[in-house]
A and B are shown apart, each in its own frame.
Chain A
Amino acid sequence: MKASRRSKAAAKKAPREQAAKAQAPAGSLVGKGHNRAVPPLDKAKRLALFEMMVKIREFEEQVQRSYLEGLVHGTTHLCQGQEGVAAGANLALADGDYVSYTYRGHGHCLARGMEMETAYAELFGRATGLCNGLGGSMHFTDIAKGLIGAAGIVGGGLPAAVGAGLSAQLNGRGQVSAVFFGDGSVNIGAFHESMNIAQVWRLPVIFICENNLYGEFTRINFTTPFEDLTERAKGYAMTAVQVDGNDVEAVYCTTAEAAERARAGDGPTFIECKTYRHRGHSRTDPAKYRDPAEVEAWLARDPIPAYRAKLVKEGLLTQKEAERMVEEAKAEVKAAADRAAAAPWPDPQQNFTAKMFA
């Protein structure tokens, strides 16, 4: 009873206040800041950033359609609205780096070069899937691309990302381990242990927190004593940066700087990307717990139209070219999904022991 009174009262007030604040937070360094200049992006890279965000968006829209068609099973967690983080951060990473993520990880994997057809085949539970249909939506893994995997359990993948960071440090080849996670992760033990170990061992780990304000169905103000999650990093004496996650170039620059610090042996960085997921937590969640004003404010800050307008304004992209990119992405995802839907089911008589043991 008490909890319900509290949530009703707070839910009326807090989201509206937050909606008003739904604007680009200033990039701010907390802790020991560094001023390494990140070279400006050339035209090709900027267009590639835009194109990647579009691809991720269209990929997820297709997942939604395929889900409604009964091709995607169980559940799936979509990232529309958060493409700026995946695209921006991944551009700052190098080939030999390790990347891990959460169940909302389709975008991170696509940005890293995951093949769409094998991704859809995995979502559809087919033999040709990225993980042979054994993992599904929450466990995209492609070790050859440094995509070391996702935990379906909130915060569960952070310790492994720290292990990959230790691996990188021991290798001495300047690799980094970048790990994406949500605001919901910052209250679980695995997060705290991972932050602490990474800092105390000065590991080349980049903690990229996608703060979309909701941990599953519950708004951050009900679960966390503050909304600026860089506060968490202070307790670990870790350099922390807050960035507008819907500004793809800002995410790129921040991640590039963190990667440079990590490669130089200066230890981990915590990056808080303020962002928003357009859809609910999972496919059964219509997200009715969100204040319409808050949703509206964030939809107006959609990273894709914003970046498109910026590129057009700077003369790097015409509306026609942008439209063509969107159309091409739509065609690409449709074709990939169609091919995946035609793929065979896995054999229940296969040698599962070989999948489990090396």
Chain B
Amino acid sequence: MQTQEITYREAVVAALQEEMRRDPRTLIMGEDIGPSGGPFKTCQGLYEEFGHARVRDTPIAETGFVGAALGLAITGYRPIVEIMFADFLGVCFDQIVNGIAKHRFMSGGQFAVPVTIRAIGGAGLRFGPQHSTTAESWFMSVPGLKIVCPSTPAEAYGMLKSAIRDDDPVLVLEHKALLSSKGHVPVGSDQTQPLTGPRVLRPGRDATVVASLAMVPRALAAAEKLAAEGIEAEIIDIRALRPMDLTPVFESVRRTNNLVTVEEQAKLGGWGAEVAAQVTSEAFDHLDSPPLRVGLPEYPVPYSPPLEDSVLPSPEAIAAAVKSLL
């Protein structure tokens, strides 16, 4: 397979560009995504290629344009919306939860709702409490939504393509701290990635570590440190939060007998709790220790660099969590 080494950001742009070329019913709306190419440059060049009709700067009004995506979707288009900071998903919560997620169901299944919502979230760039959330768990209890969280350029590319082609609403949670990360991506291919299922990134026999988004590279770094001490951690990228198919995690825990989850959000109500619950139900007899969840403290992400750094689980902290179980 032909791949190119590009950034996560370039992978997002490539996926958007290729899918918009592929299907004239697609269009993208968001704040400053037109001639400016997006505040995070995730729409670079789209306006020049597809024009105003399909690459549309919106007023700063998430309720308005996210709700408009629903109207477009049920009348024959395949809208993509960009939420500049995932925190702003709160602004259009009603449109997503009561509108987009329920409209097909309420109609008795009369139409498809092919809406892709991209939201750029996450901490680490000193944006402070209202611009640093991953919003991973905000929509996890909403039937009708699919939620994915790509952690690599290849996943960002392949999952975004799948999301755009999918006939149902998909929330794609991207991470701003990953935008400059590089990886090999099959640009220009028709290769998509599934919207469900975790992926084992590094095999190991001693503990299963399940992470998401920017916690994935940190978990991989933790595994390197542990390996130096002779401990082999198996690193799994959860990839998709809804629906959640944890089969590979169960299989992993049956081999490693230990589970650590690492998420960039508070643990209470986080996806780690769901993973721990399901693993406990499915592989209870295989656990040598209680599942351990690593997450953020019970306060918003602070601004000051030493404070922000202190709340984000470091590779050292993840390694220590793994060691505490062994």
A190 contact from B67, B71, B105, B107, Cβ within 8 A: B67
A159 touches B108 (CB 8 A): no
A143 touches B108 (CB 8 A): no
What bracket does the count of chain A residues touching chain B fall in? 35 or more
User: In whole angstroms, how far apart are the Cα atoms of A164 and B95 in the complex?
Assistant: 15
User: In whole angstroms, how far apart are the Cα atoms of A167 and B76 in the complex?
Assistant: 8
A355 touches B108 (CB 8 A): yes
Interface string of A145-166 (1 = CB under 8 A from B): 0001101110011111111111
A164-B67 in contact given A134-B108, A355-B104 (Cβ < 8 Å): no
User: In whole angstroms, how far apart are the Cα atoms of A170 and B53 in the complex?
Assistant: 7
B108 touches A197 (CB 8 A): no
Chain A contact residues, majority secondary structure: helix
Q: From A85-93, A124-132, A317-325, give the one contacting chain B.
A: A124-132
A356 touches B77 (CB 8 A): no
B68 touches A162 (CB 8 A): yes
Interface size on B, residues (CB 8 A): 41
For chain A residues 33-49, which have a beta carbon within 8 Å of chain B? none
B110 touches A141 (CB 8 A): yes
B99 contact from A134, A151, A168, A357, Cβ within 8 A: A151
In the complex, B269 has a CB within 8 A of chain A? no
For chain B residues 44-60, which have a beta carbon within 8 Å of chain A? 53, 58-59
B75 touches A164 (CB 8 A): yes
In the complex, B74 has a CB within 8 A of chain A? yes
B63 touches A141 (CB 8 A): no
Interface string of B227-241 (1 = CB under 8 A from A): 000000000000000
In the complex, A98 has a CB within 8 A of chain B? yes
User: In whole angstroms, how far apart are the Cα atoms of A356 and B243 in the complex?
Assistant: 13
A164 touches B72 (CB 8 A): yes
B71 touches A160 (CB 8 A): yes
A151 touches B71 (CB 8 A): no
User: In whole angstroms, how far apart are the Cα atoms of A254 and B2 in the complex?
Assistant: 61
B68 contact from A132, A159, A355, A357, Cβ within 8 A: A159
Kindly report which residue of chain A lies nearest to residue B168, judged by CB atoms: A357
A131 touches B64 (CB 8 A): no
User: In whole angstroms, how far apart are the Cα atoms of A253 and B253 in the complex?
Assistant: 70
A-B contact pairs, 10 of them (CB 8 A): A131-B107, A143-B107, A143-B110, A156-B98, A159-B64, A159-B71, A162-B71, A190-B64, A200-B59, A355-B108
Please give the residue numbers on chain A whose beta carbons come within 8 Å of chain B beta carbons, in ascending order: 98, 100, 129-135, 139, 141-144, 148-149, 151-153, 156-168, 170-171, 177, 189-190, 193-194, 196-197, 200, 352, 354-358
Please give the residue numbers on chain B whose beta carbons come within 8 Å of chain A beta carbons, in ascending order: 27, 53, 58-59, 61, 63-77, 79, 94-95, 98-99, 103-114, 143-144, 167-168
